[in-house]
Each structure stands twice: as structure tokens, then as C-alpha cells.
Structure 1
Amino acid sequence: MPFPIQTAAVNHAASDCPDFRRWCDGYGVIQHSEATQHQVSLLAEHLVAAGHQPDAATVYRKLADLDRLTSAGLWLVVHMTYARRVDVSGQPLAPQDLKTNPEGHTGGALNMVPAYAGYLALNNLTGRTRSWLMGQGHCVAAVDALNVLTGNLHPEQAERYRGPDGLSTLVSDFYSYRQKPDGTMAAPLGSHVNPHTAGGILEGGYLGFAELQYAHMPLPGESLVAFLSDGAAEEQRGSDWIPRWWRAEDCGAVMPVMIANGRRIEQRTELGTREGLERFEAHLEHRGFVPFRFDGRDPAAFVCALYEMEQALATNGEAALRGESGYPVRVPYGIAETTKGYGFYGASSNAAHNLPLPGNPRMDARARELFNEHAARLWVAPDQLQNAITHLNQHAGQSRPLERDHALATRNPPDPIIPRLPACRECTSPMKAVDDFFRALVAQNPDLRARVGNPDELASNRLGGVLDDLKHRVNDPENDQESVHGKIITALNEESVVSACLANKAGLNLVASYEAFCVKMLGAIRQELIFARHQKEIGRPARWLGLPVIATSHTWENGKNEQSHQDTTFCESMLAEMNDVSRVVFPADYNSTLATLPSVFRERGTISCMVIPKRERPCVF
């Protein structure tokens, strides 16, 4: 995916620039390959030509600042795992400065530092705040560390972590488990992405759901960077279908980047081998992606990759909008090649996942020596770091929001216009009330993007009108119930279809399934409920419109398909969730179903389980 400009002239001009040569020298453990140097020189020319930066030298200076911010982020992450305090002067830590019980997903968090830092720098270089999503939520230390350093924080974290001893408080809080007298957590910090994480929208406790959701999240005109796990990518096949669902007409730009560190918890991934990575690339190509590799150890390589991906997808999407090409369009897919825990001792080992040192540095002199030695390589002098942060933090001057307030993190669609439908006096299917109401709801709210999650048969579930109006989304329609621009996401993969609706927080959603199949959706739904409950607890409740997950063909009426199709687990589990984010209702007829639906869609940050018969029932209410 090369930049379409004269590369030789650009490279010659760059090599004569002192700021370019200074950046090329790298900083600490951060080095820049010839390939990345070449890409950066092209990036600088593009940014200047687009009017984003005054000259190439400014770009190179900011990328040198990025190196220093990244190194400081790596330094802070290892302290979050092992230390009770930091010494900003870079002096070695003594035994009493280190934790009795160190904890942290250190290797993955270290790999995320250059990724998230590159995302922040790209926003600065282009004057535009993009959204972000991280599938591997256990790598949150990288995000929190860089957010604290740059001041991209919610008020509770700013108050606690931006004072004179703020960084020491941060590392002490990480995995502290301290509680307030009322039982809530004392620190606005977690082991995974949570509502205290500035810009966080998905916990990422279950690997694989970000891969299924990211294509359905942004609206046209928005951009989303999705950081993904190589372990989840090779094992969650539904993520391969993103080009099947993406449409320029109703989807914003998506930039999926897999952090290919080659290891899951205690094993090498298949993608950790050259042959496995090549097979995965071939697989992605067959599915409509354009995979390409870059140096995942270098934050500037992330900047270049993300910029290229966004430009390429925009070009492909515009061609589809003009009718010059069909769907699926080719979706760029970045593969950031790195080693687990790069930048610190133990990189590339199984131990890098959690605690890379060979012992507890508080108790073990050799481990303490290794900690101080390798942390020293990451340290950045405070004056250099502050200068770098100042140059990369220009939100007010660029008139753009903090990354804390990106578009997906601040979703607040307008209240929907609720249709008024007449009651029914005849014997009819209660599911027909859902069909009638949702059709009318979508028709009266054309500015709210509609999504229907369908893992089986809409017609069988008495949603024939929804099918006629909204249609299955396909690339090559073969009948009048299918359309390239259909709103119904149909796949025999329950997690994928429910994720399409959970991700569509800007619009109207309906999930309908055989009751037994809802059980496979439960993990994704619980992740959403937990996050929404935590948002409410800290005073920033979710504002997305409520949605129903309808369990039909249920136990009490389904006697023909064996006990595998008779499973009350879903509604029972939803009854156990907190009822301010989870509702469970059992409407008995058309009229009680119709009476319930307006409140389902008026609610904010709430998921309603509705167990509804599909057979004809007399109207008794």
C-alpha cells in the first residue's frame, strides 16, 4: 500500500534534514528500520501536502517526541507491574520500593504502548481525534500509562494521578484490590479496560468480541482504530467476515491492527511461526482484506500504517459509492510484528505474558538488578518528556476533543420517535407485535441506523415484515429478501450477530433467536451489561438506546426439536443481572408484547431479554 508520490525525491530531501536524521537515531530501545524510515519520509510529505503540518521537519520532530513518549510509557508499565513507587530522576529502586505481590499482563501491555502512542500521535499530526478499541483489555496498563502521562483523563483519574506523587499513586494502585468501606474499589483503575479508562468502550475481558464488533461501530465520517489480539484473530473466525458487512453508505472507516507478538498466555500461537503468519495472510486475502506487515516495535510504523489504511479504505469506499466497484471492498488489515514484552527483560518468553523477571525483585537481588537495569533503558528525563508531551498535546489549538471524548465514547443518539399501533383482538402470534412495531420504529426514525441480528430464520420467527423491509445484507443478492445494503446481519454464528447489534450504539437494534441459541450470545451480552453497570456506578451512564434480545421458539412451546432446543439458561442468567441494566419480560400475547416494546427502546444502556411465543395465541390483555 505505497503512498502515490515520488519516493526517490522524498527520501533524498529527508536524508538532508537534521530533524529526520535525529529521529532516525531512535531513542533507547526504540529503533527505526530502513523500511519505516522510508515510510515516514513519505508520510511527512503527505501530511504537508494535505495541510496538516507546516513542513516535513515538524513531522520528524514530533515523531522524535513520540519515541520519548513511548519509552516513558514502557517505563511506567513495568513499574505498574513491579513497583510501589517511581523515581522520576531515574535512580534504581530499593527493595522497599517494590511490590510484595507483583501482578500485571506485562508483555501484552508493553506491546500496546507503541500502538496506542502511535494512535495518539496520528491524531495530533492530522488534527483529528479518531476512536479506538482494544480487544485485549488486559493490556490496559499501556493505555492508562499513556493517558496519565499526556493528561487524557476523566476527572477522578486526573485528581488522583496528576499531582506531584501521581505516578507513584498510579503504580501503587495497579492491581491493589483496595476497597472503600462501602465495598467499592478505592482506585479508579482496573486490570482491564473499564469506564475509568479514558476513551474505553469495551472491557475486553473475553478475547474475540472486539473482532466481531468493530465494523458495526463507526458511522460515516467517523474513524475507528481497532487493536486486536493474534490469539483471538486465529481462533475467532467470525472476525474474518468484516468485509462482508462493511458498507461506505452506513459505516465509518475501520483500521484493524493485529498485535502479532506470537504468544497467548503460555503457548506460542500459530501466528508466531512464519508459516502460520503466511497462511493467515492468505486466509485474510481470500476473505476480502488487504493484509500487510509492519514493525510493531516502532510507534512511527503504527502512525504510517494507520494513516495508509485510512486513506486506502476511503479510496475503496468512494469507488463503491460512485458505483465504480462492488462489495465487498478491500479492507486494509495491519499486522504489527513484534515479540511479547518487547523493550524489557524476558521478551519473547512465556513469562513475558505476566511477570517476565525470573523472581520477585523485592525479595530477589538478581531480579531487582535486572529490573533496574532494563527500566533504566526506558527512562526519559522529565524535561525531555514534558517537551514531547507538549508538542503532541495540542487539542485546543487544533479544536478537537481529547481522545477521552472520541465519538464512540460519547454516543448519545436522540430519543426515537415511538410509533403508536392499534391493539389486536384476534388470535395471532405475539411475535407479530415485534414485527409490526420494529418496522414502524425504523420507518419513523430514518436517521437511526438499523441493525437486526439473526442467527436462524426470521420467517420462522414471524418477522417476515422486518425481512421484507430491511433484508439480509449480502454481497451478491439472489432474491428480493437480500440486498447489498440490507440491515439484517445473518450468520450461523450467534456471537457475530449479537455483536453487530451491541456495536450499533448509534441506532436501533433487534436480536431475535431460538431460545436455545441465545445461550451462545450470553458472554457478549454480559460483557456489555457489566460495562454499562460500571458506567452507571461512577456517574457516567451509557446513553445508547436500549435493545431487545428476543428468545422465541422457547421451551414452553417448542416440542418438536428435541431438548437441545429447549434451554431456559438465557432468561435465567439475565434475571441474575442487575435490573437497572438488564430486564427480563415474558409477554403473553400480541397486546402485552406491543405494550412492552416502547419502554425497551426508550431505555438507555439497557438490554431486555424478551421470551415471546411465536405460535398464535389469543389476545387476553
Structure 2
Amino acid sequence: MVEATLGKATPLAAEELHKIHAYWRAANYLSVGQIYLLDNPLLREPLKLEHVKPRLLGHWGTTPGLNFIYVHLNRAIKAQDLNMIYIAGPGHGGPGLVANTYLEGTYSEFYPNIAQDVEGMKQLFKQFSFPGGIPSHVAPETPGSIHEGGELGYALVHGYGAVFDNPDLIVACVVGDGEAETGALATSWHSNKFLNPIHDGAVLPILHLNGYKIANPTVLARLSREELESLFVGYGYKPYFVEGSDPETMHQLMAETLDRVIAEIKSIQREARVHHNSHRPQWPMIVLRSPKGWTGPKEVDGKKTEDYWRSHQVPLANMARQPDHVRLLEEWMKSYKPEELFDENGTFVAELAELAPTGDRRMGANPHANGGLLLKDLRMPDFRDYAVEITKAGTTIAEATRVAGRFLRDVMRLNADTRNFRIMGPDETASNRIDAVLEATDRMWNAEILPEDEHISPDGRVMEVLSENMCQGWLEGYLLTGRHGFFSCYEAFIHIIDSMFNQHAKWLKTTRHIPWRRPIASLNYLLTSHVWRQDHNGFSHQDPGFIDHVLNKKAEIVRVYLPPDANTLLSVTDHCLRSRHYVNVIIAGKQPALQYLDMDAAIKHCTKGIGIWEWASNDRGSEPDVVMACAGDVPTLETLAAVDLLRENFPELKVRVVNVVDLMTLQPETEHSHGLSDKDFDSIFTTDKPIIFAFHGYPWLIHRLTYRRTNHKNLHVRGYKEEGTTTTPFDMVVLNDLDRFHLAIDVIERIPKIYYTAAYVKQMLYDKLIDHKHYINKYGEDMPEILNWKWRYYGSDGDQTPLQHSGTDTNPSQEGAEGTATRG
């Protein structure tokens, strides 16, 4: 344990102490003003009820501590020319960060209408938690922010993600003691085992113990000093304690402690970089214990407020019903002596303003907090070079993600020097068959390494930890500070980060409409080990519902791709890595599977996102009797096998096969930029013919996307209907009525001209389902005719030319970066 104690020579001289305290008072004053005031910003007339907002929304309790930290970081940045950003973990500390960026000048630069004068201050106060204004938390609108804090738990993991491959950056990460109770934050302390001091920056965790959450004490605040020290030493940190409530003493303690920990960080990095020693050090951290609601009202209506949970939100409320609270608010705000802080024009006095850093060294202006400013394109290999050779569709076997892994390996190699690309995954890089990347780099690991360990080192850029939350948080921090990444995960367990995806998608949507925010690289998911091939792991591993969650977000942000084979997966992956400011979800299987499209056909198919597979259809030149649609690799296989059964038994039946790669094409063009026009949709799906749609996920999602289409009444969707167990791969589709036999029966039941003559075929199909059950129960694997099925060619010569691609180009427009082969 290192306790901050003052020696004979205090770090702050009297004048500097006076100025720093005044700066802190100014930040606190502006914070209170944002929560309460609608007018009279400098209290130059007696405060009246009409000067106060009618609805008081905001959080005071954590704010003075955040302000205290900010002013001391400013001192350290300016004194040592540090490259530093600030992450505020306490969720609703928005008033403090807005106040500090206003004082340092960045806020007015980004928002000229919020000028540094009386009128600007009035607007600053009014906009906070006000219609048409800004949120109460540290939102995308706040300069210097990469962490919104709408959901607690991710401050520290975002901080570490930001400093990976950023050797000169220090992230000062304030962890609230309420936030510290979350599982994600508790795990995030282990991020120091994935940090290499040679080529990574540093995170300075500042655990802010103010004792209380909304209405309860916090766990860490009630631990003894010794217990708290043992906890963080066990995590691998060197904790420094700054504790108290007397401002003068606390300023001196904080200044001294910051000087010491910054010197330690620099010493660690110097030792590592000069001697090329990446051995994991004991990184410093600060435990700041200060009163909740510090400097606010000590009591309200006879009840303890400062240093208690009652200061968490708005200490003085019910102004209209309790007029005395208006007087108390005025006394509180005047205790900061605003007349000493702001001149006649309402401008922050120059001798205090000069305490802040200047230019990009201001934390509100640091370009790392606006990562699009620093973003550079990846160097990309030509994805066509990794193509699976196809001579006849539906006859070649390959593993789609293994093929994509070789492409990702070379993306990693080409960007080794710039170190701006990392792959994240919860211990599944090999399991998901993208382990070719380990030929280019190791897994990152800076804990103990044993001689028998394989592919782990402190220099690795594959990030594996068995926490989807940490993988997601690291990647978000990495992307938000201007780099690129890729997240591979089992489909069922990507749900663990549902709410994190939600927060990131909201960030992307909001920043798309903030002019000074620059677009960042897309967040790319590869979801594999998916629902249809989790037969061995059972029901707990079978869930395709992440797609439904993603499609709740705005069309300008989300993209979902279901490539049916390796070449389409290559095309989609290349596109997603080149894209900007989206969340791209790719769902592809890892098991050996039939391949359908050569690279030329794959590019065309992915560019359009949807198309008729002419080589599998027989309706050219006539109207189809039925449209067989599919989205996803296993649904595509079962659809083609069903078509094979129909073609064999009903050669006169006209069948059109439609494959969907880009799920968003199903929406109308008025709802999504990738959506087909009604005219093009009707051209593909017809206006009156049955549509049998085999879908990877829950069936109702397809209905949701197409309910406005002309032929929706004839659309019948098969998909996952929450039936699963430990069984065989084919039995998984049988359990959910997605198999070839059920699909063929669906066609028979919906086409009147064959319904009665097809009775024997229908009976044969049901018999096949019975045979299947008996066979798997006896042998434990699928029938040979299922395991060995391949596409059969029909035609007068028995050998139809296989790859006539996707039919008419119904939507030829292409979005996105030049060189990509998939729509934007």
C-alpha cells in the first residue's frame, strides 16, 4: 500500500494551490448551474423560482470528484506535456465533463453558440437535460469522450482498448465505486495481463470511492484499507491512496500522488522500450476517497446529504413546493464565489484559464477521443486470391471460416508495421477455424508463459480472453481511437454483449449527426459455431436471436450478412473491413460444407445482396410455380436438397431458387438503403406465387422485414423455432421443420396442380423423416444419403452449365469503399 503523505516540501506552492482550487470551484459552479439554472447564470440578481428549470434532472454526487480529478490531470498534462484522455466511468458525471471542456475552451470551439460569456453560459446551463439539449451523461456530444457510461461496467476495458498499439497515450480512467460492483468491471482489472509496455500506452485507473450508489453503500467503500490494498495488489496493481475531505490537503495529496504515478508510468515504459523488456510490471493506480456530493449542501430538510446517498442526484428538489430550497441553492452556488472566477462578460478569468493545457493536449480536444481523425485505411490483400475453385456448384467441399482465416492472416501481416488491426475472441480463434491468423501473430499474453504454451506472447495481436464483455469493450476502445478490428464469437453467446452492442450502435447513430465527429471503422462480428451446427453442444448453445436484436437499430447503422459459402464469405469480409461507421454482423459456418459460387459469381451475388440462382432453377422464360428462398448456409443446403427432390419427382414443376446474402435487401428501399424497390422485389418473388423461405434465424424476422410487400400473404418461412437438443446436424433442422423433406412437403401443399397427384411423394417424404429418426437413434449419425448429398444437374444432356450466376441485376448500385465487392 502507498498512502499519499505530504513531506516538508509540498508539491503546490501557495499561488498554484489557490488557482487550482479556484479552477475546481469554477467547474463545480458550472456543474451545479447545468443541473439547476434556466437563467441568471452568474447570480447577478437574486435567484428566483423562474430562474430554475421546472424539471430538475441530473446527478451531482459524483461530479465534484470528477472535477477534482480533471483539474489535477490538467496540471500534470501541462507540466509534463502528456498525451492523455479522460474516461468517466461514473454514469451520469456529464455536468463535470461538460464544465471542464467549457473551461478549457474546447466546448465553445465545437459549439460556437455556447460562447465563453454570459449568454453562452446561459445556453450551457439551459441545454443540459433539457428538450433539444444534451443528455445528463458523458455522451457523444461531449468533447473528449469515447465512453458514454449509459450502462455501467465498461470504463476500464474501453481504456485498455484505447491504449493498445498507442504507445504515447495515457488513459486516465475514473472507475466509480458503484460501477466497480459490475461483473464486467471486476473482470476488466485483468486487462493489465494483456498490455505490453513496449508498444502499448498506459491506463491509469482512478477508483473513485465516494461511498454510495443511488440509495445504498458501495461494497468497495466498506472494505478496510488492508483488504482493498490486497485486492488490487492481487490484480497486479500498485495502489496509491488519496483520502480526505479538506480541499487544501486533498489538492496537495492529489498533486503529489499524480506526480509519483506518472513518473512510475514513464519509468516502466522507458525500461521496457530501452531494454526491450515486455515483462508485466506492477502498474500504478489511485484510490481516491472523497465525500459524495463534496462541497454541496451538508443537510437538506434536516437530513444528511453531503457524504451520503441523498446527494447522488439532485440534492435540492421540489423548488415550487419548497421555496426555501431556492434560497439554499443560491447560497450553495454563491459559496463558489463566481464573481472571483468570471469577469464582467462572464468569461473565465485569464489567470485561471491558463492552467489548462492548450491545443490538442486539452483532453476535450485530444484527437484520440475523435478516432476518425486518426483512422487510416487498412492495407488489404486481394480477397480473390483466396478463392475456393468451383467447377460445378454444389459439389465441392470446403470450410468457409478456415478459408476466411487465411485472408485475415494476411490482413494481419500487411498491417504488422502500423499495428492498427487486432482480432478479438473469447478463446475461440482455433475453434472458429480462423487460426491461420496465428501464422502471422501470436495471441497476446503478458502473464506467466510456460515452455509448452503455443502461440502466446506479449507481442501478439490476437486478443483472447473468456469474457465476451472484455472482447467487445477492448474492440470498442480500439475502434473509437482510430483503429480496425474483427470479433469472432460463437453465435449463441454473442448475446452476452447485447447491451454493449446496443450502446455502441447508439453511439454510432448519434455521432453520425455530429459534424465534428469523424467516422470510425466498423465494428465487425463473425458469428460462427452457429445454431445449426451446435448439435453436439446441445440446446444451451442453440440461439440465432442476435440478428433480431441487431435489426432493432436504425438502418443507417446496422448490416447483416449470411454468406452461403466460402467465396461469398471472402467477399463480405473484405467489404466489412473496408467499411466505416457500421455494425456488420456476418454469420457463417465453420464445418466442411458444399460450395456453390465461383469467385466471379460470388462477387456479383454479394454486390447485389440477393439473386436468383439460375443454375438451381428451371423457370427461365416462364413464370415459376414456386419460389424457394434461402438465407444462411444450412438453409441454403436444405433448400437445394428440397429442390432436388422436387425436380426429381415433379420435372414439370417450375422452381425458382433465390438466395439472400444481405438480409437488409428484404426491406423496402424506403426503410433501408440496401432494400429492394417494390418493383424489383416483385420481379424476384412474384406477386402471387407461393414463397417457401428457409431462414437461418427465427422465422418471424423475415415476416417483419417483408410485411409490406405485395406477396407477403404467400410467404411461408421456416427457421429456428426454439427446438434443439444434443443430436445430429440433420436432426437439428428436422426438429425445426427446416429440413429438405418438410420444405418439399410445404411446396406440395401450396401448389394445387400437383397436390392430389403428389400423395405418394408426400407419403415417401414423411417416411424419410421416420427413417431418419430410426437411423440416428441406432447409429448416432445421419443417414449416408444426407451426409453424402450433392447437387445433381438436370438437363437434356444431364450436365447443365453450373454457374450462370444470379439472374437479372435487380439493384446494381454499390455503396462503400472502392475495391469492395459487397454493398455498403
TM-score, normalisation: structure 1: 0.84
Which residue is 1:546 aligned to? 522
**Structure 1 counterpart of 2:209, from 236, 241, 260:** 260
Q: 1:488 to 1:463 in 2, by over 3 A?
A: same
Separation of aligned partners in 1, 2:329 and 2:495:
45
Separation of aligned partners in 2, 1:435 and 1:539:
37
Residue 84 of structure 2 is aligned to residue 130 of structure 1? yes
How far did residue 620 of structure 1 move?
Answer: 0.6
Separation of aligned partners in 1, 2:137 and 2:489:
30
Which residue is 1:16 aligned to? none
Which residue is 1:486 aligned to? 460
Separation of aligned partners in 2, 1:215 and 1:35:
25
How far did residue 325 of structure 1 move?
Answer: 6.3
Which residue is 1:423 aligned to? 387
Residue 358 of structure 2 is aligned to residue 395 of structure 1? yes
How far did residue 153 of structure 1 move?
Answer: 1.3
Which residue is 1:603 aligned to? 579
Structure of greater relative contact order (alpha carbons < 8 Å, 6+ residues apart): 1
Residue 209 of structure 2 is aligned to residue 244 of structure 1? no
Structure 1: state its 5+ residue gaps: 3-33, 45-56, 179-185
1:499-514 alignment runs, 5 A limit: 499-505=473-479, 506-514=482-490
Which residue is 1:120 aligned to? 74
The one-letter code matched in structure 1 to 2:199 is D
How far did residue 324 of structure 1 move?
Answer: 8.5
Which residue is 1:291 aligned to? 239
Which residue is 1:477 aligned to? 449
Q: 1:394 to 1:566 in 2, by over 3 A?
A: closer
Which residue is 1:466 aligned to? 437
Which residue is 1:97 aligned to? 51
The one-letter code matched in structure 2 to 1:80 is Q
Which residue is 2:151 aligned to? 206
Separation of aligned partners in 1, 2:375 and 2:478:
11
Separation of aligned partners in 2, 1:547 and 1:171:
35
1:266-285 alignment runs, 5 A limit: 266-275=215-224, 277-285=225-233
Which residue is 2:596 aligned to? 620
After TM superposition, which residue ranges in structure 1, 4 or more long, deviate above 6 angstroms? none
Separation of aligned partners in 1, 2:157 and 2:426:
14
Separation of aligned partners in 1, 2:490 and 2:4:
52
The one-letter code matched in structure 2 to 1:371 is L
Q: 1:272 to 1:433 in 2, by over 3 A?
A: same
Contact 1:68–1:380 (CA under 8 A) maintained in structure 2: no
How far did residue 532 of structure 1 move?
Answer: 1.7
**Structure 2 counterpart of 1:530, from 506, 509, 534:** 506
**Structure 2 counterpart of 1:354, from 306, 313, 317:** 313
Q: How many residues align?
A: 561
Residue 129 of structure 2 is aligned to residue 170 of structure 1? no
Which residue is 2:427 aligned to? 456
Q: 1:155 to 1:433 in 2, by over 3 A?
A: farther
Structure 2: state its 5+ residue gaps: 298-304, 390-395, 598-824
Larger Rg: 2
The one-letter code matched in structure 1 to 2:388 is C
How far did residue 530 of structure 1 move?
Answer: 1.2
Separation of aligned partners in 1, 2:499 and 2:107:
29
Give the structure with the larger helix fraction: 1
Q: 1:472 to 1:135 in 2, by over 3 A?
A: same
Q: 1:575 to 1:371 in 2, by over 3 A?
A: same
Separation of aligned partners in 2, 1:100 and 1:211:
36
How far did residue 356 of structure 1 move?
Answer: 1.5
Deviations 1:43-88 (A, max 9, x none): 46xxxxxxxxxxxx6xx53442221111122122222222222342
532-541 or 593-602, which deviates more: 532-541
1:225-244 alignment runs, 5 A limit: 225-235=172-182, 236-244=185-193
How far did residue 379 of structure 1 move?
Answer: 2.4
**Structure 2 counterpart of 1:594, from 559, 564, 570:** 570
Q: 1:321 to 1:561 in 2, by over 3 A?
A: same
Q: 1:560 to 1:620 in 2, by over 3 A?
A: same
SS of 1:263's equivalent in the other structure is coil
Deviations 1:383-432 (A, max 9, x none): 57513433324626xxx544332131232221112101231024111102
Deviations 1:295-319 (A, max 9, x none): 4754554444333222212212333
Q: 1:303 to 1:571 in 2, by over 3 A?
A: farther
The one-letter code matched in structure 1 to 2:349 is Q
Q: 1:480 to 1:95 in 2, by over 3 A?
A: same
Which residue is 2:609 aligned to? none
TM-score, normalisation: structure 2: 0.64
Which residue is 2:160 aligned to? 215
1:333-352 alignment runs, 5 A limit: 333-345=285-297, 346-352=305-311
SS of 1:600's equivalent in the other structure is helix
Contact 1:551–1:609 (CA under 8 A) maintained in structure 2: yes
Separation of aligned partners in 1, 2:357 and 2:282:
34
How far did residue 91 of structure 1 move?
Answer: 5.2
| Identity score, percent | 21
SS of 1:618's equivalent in the other structure is strand
SS of 2:555's equivalent in the other structure is coil
The one-letter code matched in structure 2 to 1:232 is E
- When the two chains are superposed, the root-mean-square deviation of aligned CA atoms in Å is 2.5
Separation of aligned partners in 2, 1:299 and 1:196:
30
Which residue is 1:380 aligned to? 338
Contact 2:386–2:406 (CA under 8 A) maintained in structure 1: no
